[in-house]
Amino acid sequence: MENMNLANVIKSFFLGIGIGIALLMYNHEAVPSDVRLISVLASGSIGFLIGFMTEWMTAMLPISLAKARTYFFINNLIAVIVAAFFMALLMIFPGSSVDDKGELVPVLGIVLGVICAANLFDYLMYRRTQRKLQSYKSQMQDN
């Protein structure tokens, strides 16, 4: 538990909220505002659970995988698998209002696409920060 990156869990909550908003925009049905709010908060909660499970599993990885590229790839892979698992649970949930399970394929594509894009963005921001740190270190050594 002490090796978990809790900032990533919080980011997953907000990513879940963003995915919920994107899915509401994808769905063009007239939905009352209270149902929209509950849907967005539920997707944020699911994002929190996915983030928690992903970080928990990533924290159990051996330290020999501590290279940044490998870590981000494995973290993304775990996040996609956990998200797909949660989406599969939602599809088979007994109270599901979805009659045709084929409707959920585009939703699954949106969710997994957003997760991959967010992880790629996180990796690119990490690389940018590392480059800035290296240039700062070289400037400090020159002075």
pLDDT (tens, 9 = 90+) of the chain, 143 residues, equals 667 888 889 999 999 999 888 888 877 777 788 888 888 898 899 899 988 998 898 888 887 777 888 888 888 898 899 888 887 777 776 555 655 566 777 878 888 888 999 999 999 999 999 999 999 999 988 87
Residues 127 and 27: their CA atoms lie apart, in Å, by 36
Each residue of 55-89: b (16+ CB within 10 Å) or e?
Answer: bebbeeeeeeeeeeeeebeebbebbbebbeebbee
Q: Tell me, what's the pLDDT at 99?
A: 59
Q: Tell me, what's the pLDDT at 134?
A: 94
Q: Tell me, what's the pLDDT at 129?
A: 95
**Could you identify the residue written with the tokens 């940018």?**
128
pTM for the full predicted model: 0.76
Q: Tell me, what's the pLDDT at 135?
A: 93
